[in-house]
């Protein structure tokens, strides 16, 4: 049985439609509910609901909390999935890369262009791919989305295309 | 073969999630696509995509267009379904009641608290019920939602409950 | 609050896919689970799971049990939905018509061509329509399916079309 | 743009519910339709619908056809996904392993315990994982299912558990 940690931070993947207000918003994490739709007989998923915010609102203090949480999990030597808004996912990933010691496990970041459970959403696809990626990838920080895997230093979001694309070297901001 | 007209005016039922902007919005009608999920062997549905707006933005001029459209369809002697935002659905229904001549067919108004295709949405349920109601109801203007049918003069939206409730007489605004 | 009884007897609508055996079969009723997907704020649904069999296997003794169950519910003066396999649904309906006293409430029979939860299924549509029909129909026994309502004496299954069609008078078998 | 071949051979993953006969059966491949639900911006999927049979009915002659088809694709140097019934998937995989020359690309076999589009099915999960696996795995023949990857020599189906499990060495039958 492989243990995998899933640290949820919010983002579109985890938004719900608020009937009262007619908007999509980060209210309470639903990733756990959707993980139960997957068959993971050899995997024990431990969900850590850390925060639930739009990644455009994510502050340095939020990123510091994510870093501390991941650092705290490293002694478990278990792969880690971080769900995150797509807009600043790379920024947080590079922040983790600068702040973390040499890794023994893969860390995968993922998110979605449309929330879990919305028609045509890419969210469950990205979750499925990310959990699978953690079984195969070597130690390091990656972004997984839309059947692609990128080292965190080689990726940026293309807002026009609505997806991530490979770049040469991602200078830490 | 029974002919039914479906006049779409927008509202939550017809909203889509915009990945570029991260909001739900009335962009293009998708009701036609969802009607194709239903089996209607004895019914010919003719969709009239009239406008696609949030009902809070609906003006008197918009209501006049709906009234003229419905008037134009009455000679067909076919039942009419009007999809509409829930916030001012009753207001439009009462406007139609004042403006239309004595009816030979039922007119049903419906909408939804969550868009078609969103997890947990009531939209397809309300569409299914409304199409069925048109087969059974006598001439008149009704609101159909959540397994209930209301004469348009006896209904208001309860925002706290997130649904329609019966009232005594709806004084025309 | 309106009380509605749902008596489940099996049929395709209630079949599940057995992964062990690779067949669809009547194992345990799932109608209750799908009813929870509908918004029924003004309706209290009481499910009576009576039997769970393919209607081709239904015997006179099974029909007698259905009749006794319905008879037992009549004093409640609540509308009754009976879910049933489509192949002998009309036969059971006519049996009930012969065996029941004059009714104060509508009794609706429904089923499906494909099980609840299978791609393209008509099952949730038929359930939604049937629950709605019970709010509008006068006392009597009806079959509701695919946006149509038939008095039980005026309907037969057309196997080639895969649906029910209207006939003149249904001579009791 | 990465080219991936998908050779479909049938099995539960590709079964449909036949409303006329009330059984699940291999009729026409629907994998193509479900692949369109996935976002694969960097991948060109070419579907080769080879046969559509229950893997318990698969003969040596069928396996020879699969082998010839895969051999014919090898010069393309593109990863290959083979969809297949679970009951004899390992047998076919070992047959391919004996018959194929040294590989330059990964070949992944997958299937499902329940058909695509059935409630609770594992089929789309397995397809998603398999397409992703083809991006990461080295040359060789693998079985991918339920968030696990097995070299074809180290796996067998456990009928009681309803899934694949790792074994030591799979002696070629």
Cβ-contact B118, A24 below 8 angstroms:
no
> Do D38 and A125 make contact, defined as CB atoms within 8 angstroms?
yes
Question: Distance from B101 to chain A by nearest Cα, in Å?
Answer: 35
H/E stretch holding C150 reads strand C148-151
CA distance D85 to B2: 45
Contacts of B39 in chain C (CB under 8 A): 122, 125, 146-147, 163
Which chain A residue is nearest to residue D163, measuring alpha carbons?
A41
CA distance D152 to A1: 20
Chain B contacts in chain C segment 70-99 (CB below 8 A): none
Question: Distance from D4 to chain C by nearest Cα, in Å?
Answer: 27
B31-75 pLDDT, tens digit each: 999 999 999 999 999 999 999 999 999 999 999 999 999 999 999
Cβ-contact B12, B85 below 8 angstroms:
yes
**Does the pLDDT at position C88 exceed 80?**
yes
C69 touches chain B (CB under 8 A): no
> Do B119 and A120 make contact, defined as CB atoms within 8 angstroms?
no
> Do A19 and B119 make contact, defined as CB atoms within 8 angstroms?
no
Question: Distance from B71 to chain A by nearest Cα, in Å?
Answer: 31
Give the count of alpha carbons within 13 A of D28, CB side only: 2
Chains A, D: CB pairs < 8 Å:
70
Residue B1 is predicted with a pLDDT of 86
Q: Is D160 exposed, middle or buried (0-12, 13-18, 19+ CB in 10 A)?
A: exposed
> Do C113 and D162 make contact, defined as CB atoms within 8 angstroms?
no
Question: Distance from D145 to chain A by nearest Cα, in Å?
Answer: 9
How long is chain B?
173
> Do D39 and A147 make contact, defined as CB atoms within 8 angstroms?
yes
Question: Distance from D39 to chain A by nearest Cα, in Å?
Answer: 5
Residue with tokens 């959990």: A131
C6-21 pLDDT, tens digit each: 999 999 999 999 999 9
Neighbours of chain A (3+ CB pairs under 8 A): B, D
* pTM score of the predicted model: 0.96
Question: Distance from C60 to chain B by nearest Cα, in Å?
Answer: 32
> Do A147 and D129 make contact, defined as CB atoms within 8 angstroms?
no
Residue with tokens 């807002």: A159
Residue ranges in chain A modelled with pLDDT below 50: 173
Residue with tokens 């369809």: B73
Instruction: Please state, in angstroms and as integers, the Cα–Cα distance from residue A135 to each residue in A108, D74, D144, D169, following that order.
Output: 11, 27, 12, 21
Which chain A residue is nearest to residue B119, measuring alpha carbons?
A117
Residue B9 is predicted with a pLDDT of 98
* Mean pLDDT, residues C85-114: 98
> Do A131 and D147 make contact, defined as CB atoms within 8 angstroms?
yes
Q: Are strands C155-158 and C163-166 parallel, antiparallel or unpaired?
A: antiparallel
Contacts of A143 in chain D (CB under 8 A): none
Residue A172 is predicted with a pLDDT of 53
Contacts of A39 in chain D (CB under 8 A): 122, 125, 146-147, 163
**Percentage of chain B lying above the pLDDT 90 cut:** 95
> Do C133 and B132 make contact, defined as CB atoms within 8 angstroms?
yes
| Cβ neighbours for D89, distance < 8 A, ≥ 6 positions apart | D11, D55, D109, D111, D143, D157
Contacts of B23 in chain A (CB under 8 A): 23-24
By C-alpha distance, which of C49, C77, C83, C51 is closest to C64? C51
Q: How many other C-beta atoms are found inside a 10 Å radius of the C-beta of residue C69? A: 17
Cβ-contact C14, C51 below 8 angstroms:
no
Contacts of B159 in chain A (CB under 8 A): 20
Nearest to C17 among D19, D24, D159 (CB): D24
CA distance C165 to C133: 18
Residue B171 is predicted with a pLDDT of 66
Q: Are strands B16-18 and B23-25 parallel, antiparallel or unpaired?
A: antiparallel
Interface test mutation site (partner B, options C127, C146, C147, max chain B beta carbons within 10 A): C147
Secondary structure of chain D as H, E, C letters:
CEEEEEEEEECHHHCEEECCCCEEECCCCCHHHHHCCCCCCCEEEEEEEEEEECHHHCCHHHHHHHHHHHHHHHHHCCCEEEECCCCCHHHHHHHHHHHCCCCCCEEEEECCCCCCCECCCCHHHHHHHHHHHHHHCCCEEEEEECCEEEEHHHEEEECCCCEEEECCCCCCC
**Does the pLDDT at position C62 exceed 90?**
yes
B113 touches chain A (CB under 8 A): yes
* Mean pLDDT, residues D141-164: 97
Structure tokens at A24: 């999509």
* Mean pLDDT, residues D35-63: 97
D39 touches chain C (CB under 8 A): no
Residue ranges in chain B modelled with pLDDT below 70: 171-173
Interface test mutation site (partner B, options C120, C132, C137, C166, max chain B beta carbons within 10 A): C132
Contacts of B43 in chain C (CB under 8 A): 147
Residue D170 is predicted with a pLDDT of 74
Question: Distance from C105 to chain D by nearest Cα, in Å?
Answer: 32
**Does the pLDDT at position D172 exceed 90?**
no
* Mean pLDDT, residues D166-171: 83
Question: Distance from C15 to chain D by nearest Cα, in Å?
Answer: 10
> Do B116 and A113 make contact, defined as CB atoms within 8 angstroms?
no
Residue C30 is predicted with a pLDDT of 95
- At residue C139 the predicted structure's pLDDT band, cuts being 50, 70 and 90, is very high
* Mean pLDDT, residues C34-50: 97
Nearest to D42 among A120, A137, A147 (CB): A147
Cβ-contact C165, C158 below 8 angstroms:
yes
> Do D125 and A149 make contact, defined as CB atoms within 8 angstroms?
no
Residue C169 is predicted with a pLDDT of 79
């Amino acid at each position: 049985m492989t243990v995998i940690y899933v640290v949820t931070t919010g983002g579109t993947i985890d938004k719900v439609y608020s009937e009262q207000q007619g908007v999509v918003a980060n209210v309470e994490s639903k990733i756990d509910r959707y993980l139960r739709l997957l068959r993971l007989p050899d995997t024990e998923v431990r969900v850590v609901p850390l925060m639930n915010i739009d990644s455009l609102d994510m502050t340095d203090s939020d990123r510091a909390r994510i870093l501390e949480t991941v650092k705290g999990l490293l002694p478990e030597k278990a792969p880690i999935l971080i769900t995150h808004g797509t807009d600043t996912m790379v920024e947080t990933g590079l922040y983790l890369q600068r702040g973390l010691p040499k890794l023994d496990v893969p860390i995968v970041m993922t998110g979605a262009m449309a929330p879990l459970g919305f028609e045509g959403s890419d969210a469950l696809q990205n979750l499925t791919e990310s959990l699978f990626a953690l079984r195969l990838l070597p130690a390091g920080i990656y972004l997984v989305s839309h059947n692609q895997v990128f080292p965190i230093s080689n990726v940026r979001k293309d807002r026009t295309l609505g997806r991530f694309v490979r770049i040469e070297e991602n200078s830490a901001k």
